[in-house]
Amino acid sequence: MKLVNMYKVLATTAILGQTMVAPILSHADTIVTKNQTHTQKQQTAQDNALEDFNTINLMADAEDFGKKSKEEAKSHAENEKKKQEKHMSSSEIQTKKDFIKDKNEINRYLFKNRGGLIDKDPNNEKIEKLDAMLKKQHMDKTIKVYEPLGGMTEETAKNFKGDLLKDPMYRVSSLTHVPSSKLKDSNKLDAFFEITVPEGSHAAYETSKDFSGLIIERGAGLEITNVTKVLDGNSYRFKIEARLISNDEMNARKSKSVALNEAKQTLTEKIGLPVTVDSVDLDVTNAVKRASNAIMGAKDAFDSAVMSGRMNKEVIEAILHRLNENGAGITFTEDTSLFEEGDLGAYDYELKEIILNSLTPNLTETLIHEFAHLADHIYFNNQSGKNPQLIKSYVEKGKIFGDAFNFDIKASYAKANEEQQVREYFAELVAQFMINPQKLKEVVPDAYEIIRQIFQKGDM
């Protein structure tokens, strides 16, 4: 996760905090899967130019006063404010008014201390009261609000897309479109945020002589969904579109990141190759458990093979060393769009990455199968499909093996040539050699011996 000091980027704006960029998994155009070959388009973190940015319309039905009159916006804000204040105490209403008066001092204090409260500071009580008041407020509908950003270059604006910005301060956002500021630097354009505040967000309406808008809880984040260059009057501006992420969700995302990083370190140490665990849920317990079970199952299988003498420890260490030298890795993902229906895993030849569908059963077996493809590619130079002994065994015993282990290669890989089918035969032989060695030895003893010799000598 990349951390950028927002003060350096937007020193003249009201947004003073830090930028966190969520990690993006990318996959090569062609992924060879266990069941078939399919094409997966590669995703890029950002477009090459602003003109290529695609609009992400997350909240099409959001209420928007951006192009309406200030009078309409103020009328709406005052009506919503009255609704909220019916459920507030007089003390809470006063807390809100006091914040509008002291907002610069309070936000400077929060920025300076990165959101922390220093002992005995007079601002602490104000902040605690405001936190408590805002926590009780829930927006009853989705609405768009606006904030000025000041001047920025095209490169800076372009780099916003895909970012997740966290602000330790309270946001004070206007319902109406913010006017453009005059800039002395001709290399910069004025920029502004258009923020979608989802229904249920913790925010309070407030109005004054020159303001109609929202006070938004501190610690909320902005997920940047789009960046465009727009014509405003006679000049161009950068519009940074964002979705508000609640403080609770930001904290949950942080906990998720910590948990996944801890799992990555632990599982990498266990298996000897870089491991990444991905989860679509904020609670990653199940994703980590599935990945851990698969890794430990594979490790136990390799340890058992070495201890029993079926595999040479030095050969396994040499293979792992070569794989690490070449940047190989393992990814567990719940993103089913990466797989065709029924696929359990894949080996990406370009990225040298094992990609496993962690929502499917038999993950340990799939992991070892794909590990065999990885070792074949990097350590054995793709020789399995050309190995005379493996070819002979596949032609003579492939059907017997498939019937015994429910792995019909000719049916699953009907469009593959013989060399590709033999590679799959080799990968599944390795998986069964590790998981069901005795059964493999009884069903196809010659194939068992071929695999044993390969991992004893370290060559084909």
pLDDT digits (tens, 9 = 90+) for 2-14: 223 232 233 333 3
CA atoms of 208 and 205, how far apart (whole Å): 11
State the pLDDT at residue 265: 97
In this structure, the answer to whether residues 267 and 235 fall within a common structural domain is no
328 falls within a domain = yes
pLDDT score of 393 more than 50: yes
Residues 98-123: what's their mean pLDDT? 91
In this structure, the answer to whether residues 114 and 145 fall within a common structural domain is yes
State the pLDDT at residue 27: 27
In this structure, the answer to whether residues 240 and 279 fall within a common structural domain is no
Assign 357 a pLDDT band (cuts: 50, 70, 90).
very high
CA atoms of 333 and 445, how far apart (whole Å): 36
Residues 106-114: what's their mean pLDDT? 93
8 falls within a domain = no
pLDDT score of 383 more than 50: yes
State the pLDDT at residue 52: 41
In this structure, the answer to whether residues 137 and 284 fall within a common structural domain is no
In this structure, the answer to whether residues 225 and 91 fall within a common structural domain is yes
pLDDT score of 280 more than 70: yes
State the pLDDT at residue 14: 35
Q: How many domains does the chain have?
A: 2
Strands 235-245 and 189-197, how do they pair? parallel
Structure tokens given for 440: 């493999």
- Identify the CA nearest to 386 among candidates 353, 417, 350, 354: 417
In this structure, the answer to whether residues 272 and 222 fall within a common structural domain is no
Supply the mean pLDDT for the chain: 86
State the pLDDT at residue 235: 87
Domain with residue 266: its CATH number is 3.40.390.10
Assign 331 a pLDDT band (cuts: 50, 70, 90).
very high
CA atoms of 343 and 361, how far apart (whole Å): 11
Angle 285-307/418-435 helices, nearest 10 degrees? 90
Structure tokens given for 167: 């602000």
Residues 284-312: what's their mean pLDDT? 96
State the pLDDT at residue 239: 94
34 falls within a domain = no
- Which of 194, 211, 245 corresponds to the end of one domain? 245
pLDDT score of 270 more than 70: yes
- What share of the chain in percent tops pLDDT 90? 72
Residues 153-158: what's their mean pLDDT? 90
Q: How many whole angstroms from its chain centre is CA 147?
A: 27
Assign 430 a pLDDT band (cuts: 50, 70, 90).
very high
- Which of 199, 217, 245 corresponds to the end of one domain? 245
Which burial class, exposed, middle or buried, applies to 374 when counting CB atoms under 10 A from its CB (0-12, 13-18, 19+)? buried
Structure tokens given for 210: 């020159």
- Which of 215, 245, 275 corresponds to the end of one domain? 245
In this structure, the answer to whether residues 256 and 403 fall within a common structural domain is yes
CA atoms of 345 and 373, how far apart (whole Å): 11
Assign 64 a pLDDT band (cuts: 50, 70, 90).
very high
In this structure, the answer to whether residues 228 and 299 fall within a common structural domain is no
Residues 92-102: what's their mean pLDDT? 92
In this structure, the answer to whether residues 310 and 449 fall within a common structural domain is yes
In this structure, the answer to whether residues 194 and 285 fall within a common structural domain is no
pLDDT score of 28 more than 70: no
In this structure, the answer to whether residues 163 and 286 fall within a common structural domain is no
State the pLDDT at residue 61: 75
Residues 140-157: what's their mean pLDDT? 93
Residues 108-121: what's their mean pLDDT? 91
Assign 182 a pLDDT band (cuts: 50, 70, 90).
confident
State the pLDDT at residue 44: 33
331 falls within a domain = yes
pLDDT score of 108 more than 90: yes
30 falls within a domain = no
Residues 223-237: what's their mean pLDDT? 91
State the pLDDT at residue 186: 83
Q: Containing domain of residue 437, as a range?
A: 252-457
Task: Provide the whole-model pTM.
Answer: 0.70
In this structure, the answer to whether residues 278 and 239 fall within a common structural domain is no
State the pLDDT at residue 13: 37
